[in-house]
Structure 1
């Protein structure tokens, strides 16, 4: 069911589809910057828009709120204005900027006033600057306005001057990344006069502003801040151009995150310091055993501070430990931190038991670091922890505590009857409190049990018995020592239990991260990578996980991973609305969905799985209204980073393999063309030349010369025919197009058939047959094996001189039949034996006819023999020559076969 003000599936799809065809480049952003409202930012923006329109630029006023100002209304004349948007459920009076209409209109330049404005519920984004970023990504130029008090890093400085905090703020990164910033500057006296005359705002607003904080001194201070911030932006641009995009500064600023409201001002101060030093900024959160017990308000404030640090460009890091100062010092040393920025701690106890502040502890543990203390004007109370203030009561724990105390008292009574001293009985009660602390889930049970143990001891074991009175005053010390020992023992036990739970949780999460890295490294396909990653994310967050693959910017079907016992909603997780949010994340390479400022009405939180240059997947997490804690979030982002690298590596390997195959095909094609251009031209030239001689001089040539020319033409033609047959056969076998039909065949018959098809040059050699078993049979496709034998015999003929001996033999070799073709020619070099069966490879030995082959015959033989399940090989003949041998599956001779084929 859609929530109130939540965009429907059709609208979300329309929003995303409206951005599917952006222009080639990114739009340019120009900010008209001022130190206060009323300096003339909007008028300057409209004047610049008119100038652009006169030069032929398509200009549209996207959202301008004139506030009844005549000058603004006059400048709006002549400009096309987009109708405002009335968000669903917000009333007819509320008007917002219509981003979808702007994307549909897609002008060259659009005017969007008040960049820091917070959109109403029901809009696509929570902040107007996010609408502007969407327009820029769509290739639309934007003119906008902003005042100095709306910059995130300066909001607390301005608030200290004016006394009024600004709620609508813009990240400094938006301001610094603008293509142009124009400072609109007038004298403070002139601004005060404008406000007094009502030219810049309503008369009532002007009077309130003047009476509240717009004094000449305040305006002068704001003007100086705005000028300095504009100059800082110019310096930062010059620094980037000088050193490139990488940060070459050695300054590394560290800020510590907490759930205190004052932590936001500390983060802003650290960001300003990092900008001034052109250094890097890291926000560190130390997770202690009590971190899970933060109040709900403090936890929400911690998440706000985390988002603020991210907006100001900080890198988020999380460590775990009991000693906060030690963890910060260790991290600072390992990460090369040069300065640590802290807020001023609330004053603690004084005297002998005074506890040192965090700054003092850091100074002691890391004396080489600069520790900067930021004053805290709010002085809030420290975050309360449920573990101390609100113990969780349960009937089971109460029964356990009462039972252990009862058993302890019974044992104590037995000890007294057996003659044990009171010291032994006191120790027994301390042991009972220790057991209670181990078996219950709150420190309160141990504290109450310690007090109850003292009372029971007084009631049962001090004179007078069975009363709470005692005669001996020394029992005061006994009771105090007994209570303190019991209380401290129980407290330490509970602390050890909390630390053990936190250590186990940290070890579990770290194990998941390490295991994720190992599993991703061993995954061989992209499908395996997605499966392993989904399982690991599910183990980490224990919530439904959706993984959308992204190919060339298109979001595919998701893989869903659900915890045991969790059922998807009736319409499923992958609704049209949710898919639209995932598509937005894939396109814009940013997070969106639940708990974010972009499309917050979605069911899931969607995060982009990034590589170096693109988005490879989108991960969706069904939060169910419970945001992730900082440690889970940082660990999940690290895992998604590993995920992105693994997918990028897998796709790069696939691309590399594809390029390798293409390169190999190109090499084979080049070899074939080179062979055709050289080796085919030789026989064709010989054929045409001999034919020409016969045509021109056939009558004058004697019969012997004519026969020699006829023989040469025949030999060259047969060579071409065999070449084409081999080439076609290799192609059919490699493509799997040749069908092989094996039957039992007599080897002698196949050898005779092959020798009958060899070239006439075989007559120039001595042929020997070694076929001792006339009934030797093998399973084969006779037509193809004949071609193998023809190629091997022709190969022996071509590479041996006339008069050499060629021997064809066949015999049984276990379950196989081995057929060999041997010669006593010059042989094959050892370095060539390994490559003889490669396509287009020819040995460098001189052929008998002086013609170089294409290197197709032997690869064809290997393909045919392999298709028959045999093996072909080459070895040296003794004392000289070469032996080619191949094997086929033997077939037994039966009487039925002999009778059915009597000619064999």
Structure 2
């Protein structure tokens, strides 16, 4: 049951989005239904108003319409110089995006939002330039007409019969912070045309005859008003329901991608429907054997339709199969599609035309709403199909296979004929050979040819009269006809099975790559392994060189990681300053760029961001070298990058958690130290000051023995304080990572002797012995720290065992690499519960003893830290029959004896 509280993830996403929106510039679009309504004029008026309010305004690019009123308004505005681009002997003036970002005004004016930039500019379209300005935190005023909106292109064409080539995605208009509709009556606009205020006289007359008719302008105005209202509705809905999925209904709109000329219209219609129903929008591409053979215009149209669907916000999905209606119906059922939008087939029907797609879908998916978009284009014939019928694919290898198999079948038939078998056996042999040819060759042409040749060979060599093509027996005609039909059918079935096998292989390949990626990602333990896996999986998918730029904490690119490299590539060509600049642009703008995209198209690599939910964690460069990326591979790549982005995000979260944990532990350590010091230092300091004060005031009254006893107490307390301070300093150095180990070979007996000189004064009341083997023992150590370890362990034994206890120090060689030092006593021992915590900081055993007040629990913890820093291990065990043994290991070194 919901407790009514908001979801934390949703709140976090809203906070992050608000932060991003706060840093992003605001976009205002002056929207009109035709040229000449006054969009640029209104924009310039708004710019002067903003300037009068103290806002830094710059005119980035204003289209030179040579209109006096517009030119007058451009006065007193700072105008950026244009970018000069030479193209076919002509110098073109383009908007200079780099100069605009460098100038970085508060508000910039950029006319003609739908403009296509000249070749050589960073972005293909001007709306991409404007998006960069917004990302840089610059507010933008711009202009656009209704005929330039992508989803409305077909409607505009039906009204005006003029195809508009410069278009912008609907999302650009929908994302605008403000839209101001610049509107005048159609009659007033026509009057302006007649007066020459829009175009020159000749151009104006031509426009009045074609585009600027009253009927056209009324229709366009109606569309512009409706589109503006839709945008306002979208913004108001988003304000009421900030999270989009909260107000989405169950509507799921599906279209099918194809190379049909009418497919673009279907995509635009489905996009408008998805927006109207507030539903999701999916574009499905069914990969069949025929689509693999698309060439020329068909292939180009398919790619254009794919990009159009992506541009209009569709999710691209690829499935594989030969039966297109079945694949569409299967996906529609699994994905919960409610509406399917398809175009009416405009192909010329032949005598052997199959069942229409609509009829097939009606049978396979009866619960699916199907919307058929009419097409006014002239009927056409699929050139790709006719090409395949006229020019079947011929392979020398398959031709030789066919000839050899038919020769073998002929030889076997002669053998069977000579041993007395009849012609039916020869027919069987040739049927098997035809089936074998269908399996071993590609395409049905070889099966059909081999069927025809088999009939001719049987007739010529094995029927009476032999060695002629004459047939006397009518039964032979029937047998040969049946044989030919059976041969063609079997070869057709075999070809379909091969095609189906190919499709299954593609499905298995996709599943294998995704499953392998998921399994290996689960095993990756750090970012370096994730990057390595990412590069290898992309290389396996494309066989192109891969470069990965990890993103540092300061949101800058690190040095590139060059991963698998194609043998035909020189990897240094992809590591140039220009290529890195493209990768950096992708990081800053969080968009794809480089080869095969519309941004920085001169790059040699396709650069894509590896994103988590909120950040970019790496930029991947794939050396495609202008090669078109296969549709299904691109979809697979996008899925993989998303999975890797989540893995990197998870790793970053774990690193942040570890840092927080370490900081918390450090804070806890400081707090414990301060708490322990404030408590445990007070007692010895009070004792020292009290004894000193007593000696000063009562010295004459004390006996010599009493004075010596007080002096010994002061010495013991001061030595305890000195050891405590030494331990505290060592703990601090280890905790901060500033301990400088000076490892060098040392004789163990010398280190032990040095430690025994500094142990507790009460050691005289204990029996301490050193038991070392006869040979000299040497270990690699920092002697001053190992001395402290030995002192702490012996002092610990003295502190917690009764007087007269035997304490033994012994050592032995464990193996060629390690030396073991043991410090044993025969005291009361340590309980099993305390053994598990004896090396923990601030833990003291036997707290019921009177002397337990004198211990912060740092000594043994410090010993463990020192031994661990030496690469050794420390442990505690019982000393049978009673007592305790502390042991630690050091790296053994051989003693060098010089004569």
Please tell me the TM-score bracket, short chain as reference: 0.7 to 0.9
CA deviation digits over 1:351-374, x for unaligned, max 9? 9x7633222222222222212211
Matched, 1:843 2:857: no
1:819 equivalent in structure 2: 823
User: After alignment, is 54-63 or 726-735 more displaced?
Assistant: 726-735
2:31 equivalent in structure 1: 33
1:366 equivalent in structure 2: 365
Matched, 1:568 2:566: no
| Map 1:645-664 → 2, pairs under 5 A | 645-664=646-665
Give the conservation status (yes or no) of the 8 Å contact 1:776–1:812: no
CA-CA distance at 1:689 after TM superposition: 3.3
Give the conservation status (yes or no) of the 8 Å contact 1:255–1:267: yes
Matched, 1:427 2:428: yes
How far apart are the structure 2 equivalents of 1:478 and 1:217? 71
Give the conservation status (yes or no) of the 8 Å contact 1:348–1:354: no
2:458 equivalent in structure 1: 457
1:873 equivalent in structure 2: 876
CA-CA distance at 1:787 after TM superposition: 5.0
How far apart are the structure 1 equivalents of 2:707 and 2:813? 53
CA-CA distance at 1:348 after TM superposition: 7.4
Alignment TM-score, normalising by the size of structure 2: 0.88
| Map 1:486-885 → 2, pairs under 5 A | 486-551=487-552, 552-561=554-563, 565-568=567-570, 572-699=573-700, 706-728=707-729, 735-737=739-741, 739=743, 741-743=745-747, 745=749, 750=753, 757-760=758-761, 767=766, 788=789, 790-799=791-800, 806-809=805-808, 818-824=822-828, 828-843=830-845, 845-849=847-851, 851-862=853-864, 867=870, 871-875=874-878, 883-885=884-886
CA-CA distance at 1:255 after TM superposition: 1.4
How far apart are the structure 2 equivalents of 1:208 and 1:784? 96
1:104 equivalent in structure 2: 102
Pair 1:64–1:767, CA change in 2 (3 A):
closer
CA RMSD of aligned residues (A): 3.4
User: After alignment, is 251-260 or 424-433 more displaced?
Assistant: 424-433
CA-CA distance at 1:458 after TM superposition: 3.1
User: After alignment, is 605-614 or 474-483 more displaced?
Assistant: 474-483
Matched, 1:85 2:68: no
How far apart are the structure 2 equivalents of 1:646 and 1:346? 47
How far apart are the structure 2 equivalents of 1:414 and 1:850? 107
Give the conservation status (yes or no) of the 8 Å contact 2:254–2:282: yes
SS of the residue 1:384 aligns to: helix
1:246 equivalent in structure 2: 244
CA-CA distance at 1:755 after TM superposition: 6.8
How far apart are the structure 1 equivalents of 2:198 and 2:285? 45
Matched, 1:375 2:374: yes
CA-CA distance at 1:440 after TM superposition: 2.7
Counterpart selection for 1:140 from 112, 118, 138: 138
CA-CA distance at 1:561 after TM superposition: 4.2
Pair 1:464–1:178, CA change in 2 (3 A):
same
2:7 equivalent in structure 1: none
1:439 equivalent in structure 2: 440
SS of the residue 2:23 aligns to: coil
How far apart are the structure 2 equivalents of 1:483 and 1:868? 82
Give the conservation status (yes or no) of the 8 Å contact 2:873–2:889: yes
How far apart are the structure 2 equivalents of 1:600 and 1:486? 52
Unaligned runs of 5+ in 1: 1-21
Pair 1:85–1:850, CA change in 2 (3 A):
closer
CA-CA distance at 1:887 after TM superposition: 6.1
Pair 1:96–1:90, CA change in 2 (3 A):
farther
Pair 1:332–1:805, CA change in 2 (3 A):
farther
CA-CA distance at 1:269 after TM superposition: 0.7
Counterpart selection for 1:126 from 116, 124, 127: 124
1:14 equivalent in structure 2: none
Give the conservation status (yes or no) of the 8 Å contact 1:778–1:817: no
CA-CA distance at 1:860 after TM superposition: 3.8
SS of the residue 2:44 aligns to: helix
2:63 equivalent in structure 1: 65
CA-CA distance at 1:112 after TM superposition: 1.1
How far apart are the structure 1 equivalents of 2:433 and 2:374? 48
How far apart are the structure 2 equivalents of 1:887 and 1:108? 68
CA deviation digits over 1:524-569, x for unaligned, max 9? 3323222222222111112222222222332233333455531328
1:332 equivalent in structure 2: 332
Give the conservation status (yes or no) of the 8 Å contact 2:607–2:621: yes
Give the conservation status (yes or no) of the 8 Å contact 2:825–2:879: no
Structure ranking higher on relative contact order (CA contacts 8 Å, 6+ apart): 1
How far apart are the structure 1 equivalents of 2:33 and 2:433? 68
Give the conservation status (yes or no) of the 8 Å contact 2:286–2:319: yes
CA-CA distance at 1:274 after TM superposition: 0.5
User: After alignment, is 105-114 or 844-853 more displaced?
Assistant: 844-853
Pair 1:463–1:865, CA change in 2 (3 A):
closer
User: After alignment, is 516-525 or 383-392 more displaced?
Assistant: 383-392
CA-CA distance at 1:775 after TM superposition: 7.1
CA deviation digits over 1:1-57, x for unaligned, max 9? xxxxxxxxxxxxxxxxxxxxx998211110011111121111111111111122222
How far apart are the structure 2 equivalents of 1:299 and 1:465? 52
Unaligned runs of 5+ in 2: 1-19, 815-819
Give the conservation status (yes or no) of the 8 Å contact 1:812–1:890: no
How far apart are the structure 1 equivalents of 2:564 and 2:261? 36
Pair 1:553–1:755, CA change in 2 (3 A):
closer
CA-CA distance at 1:437 after TM superposition: 2.5
CA-CA distance at 1:622 after TM superposition: 2.1
CA-CA distance at 1:633 after TM superposition: 0.7
SS of the residue 1:56 aligns to: coil
SS of the residue 2:392 aligns to: coil
SS of the residue 1:86 aligns to: strand
CA-CA distance at 1:336 after TM superposition: 1.8
How far apart are the structure 1 equivalents of 2:394 and 2:585? 47
1:256 equivalent in structure 2: 256
CA-CA distance at 1:127 after TM superposition: 0.7
Pair 1:50–1:574, CA change in 2 (3 A):
same
Give the conservation status (yes or no) of the 8 Å contact 2:844–2:852: no
Alignment TM-score, normalising by the size of structure 1: 0.87
1:321 equivalent in structure 2: 321
SS of the residue 1:364 aligns to: helix
How far apart are the structure 2 equivalents of 1:518 and 1:368? 38
2:198 equivalent in structure 1: 200
Give the conservation status (yes or no) of the 8 Å contact 2:27–2:134: yes
Give the conservation status (yes or no) of the 8 Å contact 2:114–2:125: yes
CA-CA distance at 1:190 after TM superposition: 1.4
Give the conservation status (yes or no) of the 8 Å contact 1:451–1:483: yes
Give the conservation status (yes or no) of the 8 Å contact 1:344–1:376: yes
How far apart are the structure 2 equivalents of 1:543 and 1:812? 60
How far apart are the structure 1 equivalents of 2:773 and 2:584? 74
CA deviation digits over 1:738-792, x for unaligned, max 9? 5464425399x95xx87775545567xx645688999798667897776555434
SS of the residue 2:244 aligns to: coil
1:169 equivalent in structure 2: 167
Give the conservation status (yes or no) of the 8 Å contact 1:387–1:443: no
How far apart are the structure 2 equivalents of 1:891 and 1:627? 62
CA-CA distance at 1:621 after TM superposition: 1.9
Give the conservation status (yes or no) of the 8 Å contact 2:524–2:530: yes
User: After alignment, is 472-481 or 489-498 more displaced?
Assistant: 472-481
SS of the residue 2:243 aligns to: coil
How far apart are the structure 1 equivalents of 2:521 and 2:601? 31
CA deviation digits over 1:448-506, x for unaligned, max 9? 22223333333334444433333344555444333222222223222322332343344
Give the conservation status (yes or no) of the 8 Å contact 2:108–2:139: yes
Pair 1:542–1:758, CA change in 2 (3 A):
closer
Pair 1:738–1:417, CA change in 2 (3 A):
closer
CA-CA distance at 1:149 after TM superposition: 0.9
